[in-house]
Amino acid sequence: MDRFLCEVLPRRFEVGHGQVHGVVHRSREADVILWDALNYPRLQLRGSTIFFAESVRASIEVKSRWSVEELDDILVKTKALRDIVTAPRINIDDALQRMQLDIAYLAGGPAPTGALAVQHRIGTAGFVFFGGQRFELKDVKAETMDHADDCWPDVLLFLEAGIVVLKEWEEREGLGGGQGELLRFDLGADALLFFTDALLRGLVARSVFVETPLDLASYQIPSLHSQPVERVSFRLTRPNPGRRYFFDDE
């Protein structure tokens, strides 16, 4: 797993193992941590490695074989990561967007008066090597679906079965409300590629780039445009990530 990730990740990101620490919360011990090694440090302690929440872009739980017990473990560790909140700070992307608003105002547009921003939480994923051929979302416990926004990983791969479950939510102005969906794709041998694309897109959404990041879907790879064979909706319990700007005329 580590070798595969090291081959596909931009060199800015490194693969680690350990705990993610926020100001208030911390994660369980994570199998795989993808962190920005170019811009942040980590702490190597006896028996464990500590990663600061600001540096971590995603965490992956790796399971040898699928079982209900292993799913519960993934859900618990995902919830612990989702509870970590990083302190918002202005980065170059925020500054450039504010400059664009100011330039638009000088050109005769409305005056910007403020902004509401919700950052992405740390990305989460599950990777199961064997089993899961009979997995269907309709079989997931109702109580689990009630808390899917809090505990279900952003992307879950059943490698042997060729199944990927993707977690999405609808975009809404105002950064709150709406609903999310779990989408199951039956992809066979292309499941790993689909999972990798979802993982890379998650890293892009949680990072600031100088160059335009790679978009694999633009290469018209058929499997990356597959349609789900099953979808289940769930209620959102957390604000959607994004920005909303306020103007004088609102």
Residue 133 CA to residue 120 CA, distance in Å, equals 31
* pLDDT score recorded for residue 79: 94
| H-helix or E-strand spanning residue 63 | strand 56-65
Q: Are 125 and 155 in contact (CB under 8 A)?
A: yes
Mean pLDDT in each 10-residue stretch from start to end of the chain (250 residues)? 90 94 90 95 90 95 95 95 82 84 85 78 96 94 91 97 93 64 97 97 92 91 95 88 74
* pLDDT score recorded for residue 238: 83
The helix/strand/coil state of 244 is strand
* pLDDT score recorded for residue 176: 54
From 233, 71, 236, select the one nearest 138 (Cα to Cα): 233
* First-to-final CA distance of the chain: 50
Q: Is beta strand 112-118 parallel, antiparallel or unpaired with respect to 48-52? A: unpaired
14-41 per-residue burial string, b: 16 or more CB within 10 A, e: under 16: bbbebbbbbeeebbbebbbbbbbbeeee
* pLDDT score recorded for residue 171: 60
* pLDDT score recorded for residue 102: 85
* pLDDT score recorded for residue 59: 97
* pLDDT score recorded for residue 174: 52
185-223 per-residue burial string, b: 16 or more CB within 10 A, e: under 16: bebeebbbbbbbbbbbbbbbebbeeeeeeeeeeeeeeeb
* pLDDT score recorded for residue 114: 75
From 133, 153, 147, 128, select the one nearest 1 (Cα to Cα): 128
Q: What are the structural domain ranges in the chain?
A: 60-247
Residue 200 CA to residue 96 CA, distance in Å, equals 24
* pLDDT score recorded for residue 50: 95
